[in-house]
Amino acid sequence: MAIAEIIIQYITHLIGGGGYFFVFFLMILESMIFPVPSEAVMPFAGFLISQQKFSFLGVIFFSTLGSITGSLLSYYIGFYGGKPFIAKYGKYFLLRQGDLAKTENFFAKHGDKTIFISRFVPVVRHLISLPAGAAKMNVFKFSFYTVLGAAIWHAFLSWVGFSLKQNWQDIEQYAGFFGYFLLAVIAVAVLIFIRKRKK
């Protein structure tokens, strides 16, 4: 059995066993500072939609609810902690005072759309809520753009997972290659993370 197929079976079993709550919980983590990318969760929820274990609306609702919950937690950490929090703990999240200053400038230049766009950008979506809170962005606008961006992104990823499952026979021949490619990507990501932490 190819590595990719083993991973798919394991994650779909994990998500399926935990139900919507597991999707909700993982998206809370993903919207905070934990390295749980939605790209590694939502497509598998889409697989389960194709198996009629989940509904499309249920997946979008609970995943988006998780995103706004995690984002608001980070937002208020930034709101009340602000620069002192980032100065003290930011290094553990690879976030520096300079990052906050740049983000505040980015808010001033691009406005509210920053939050919406960040939902589609890997890594940025994990951290953007802290600077948003520290910059005292209006919480209602922050929530609106977070929900809008998260719902669209989750819907897209779920649709991708649903489509791949429906066409599994067409992609099965590439599973072995994908598995080794996936391992290589994980290895490179770990090395980059270690290098940044050492710096």
pLDDT band at 132 (very low <50, low <70, confident <90, very high): confident
pLDDT band at 2 (very low <50, low <70, confident <90, very high): very low
Owning domain of residue 51: 3-198
- The answer on pLDDT for 65 being more than 90 is yes
Q: Residue 53 has what DSSP assignment?
A: S
- The answer on pLDDT for 96 being more than 90 is no
- The answer on pLDDT for 56 being more than 90 is yes
Ranges 64-68, 95-99, 130-134, 179-183, most confident: 64-68
Which of 143 and 134 is assigned the larger pLDDT?
143
Q: How many domains does the chain have?
A: 1
Q: Which of 144, 160, 137, 181 is nearest to 7 (CA)?
A: 181
Q: What pLDDT was estimated at residue 58?
A: 94
Q: Which of 43, 41, 40, 45 is nearest to 58 (CA)?
A: 45
Q: How far apart are alpha carbons 75 and 83 in whole angstroms?
A: 13
Which of 25 and 183 is assigned the larger pLDDT?
25
Q: pLDDT tens, 69-88?
A: 999 998 998 888 766 776 67
Which of 139 and 192 is assigned the larger pLDDT?
139
pLDDT band at 162 (very low <50, low <70, confident <90, very high): confident
Q: How far apart are alpha carbons 119 and 146 in whole angstroms?
A: 7
Which tokens sit at 147?
């929900």
Contact (Cβ atoms closer than 8 angstroms) between residue 3 and residue 180: yes
- Specify the range with the lowest mean pLDDT, choosing from 3-7, 13-17, 106-110: 3-7
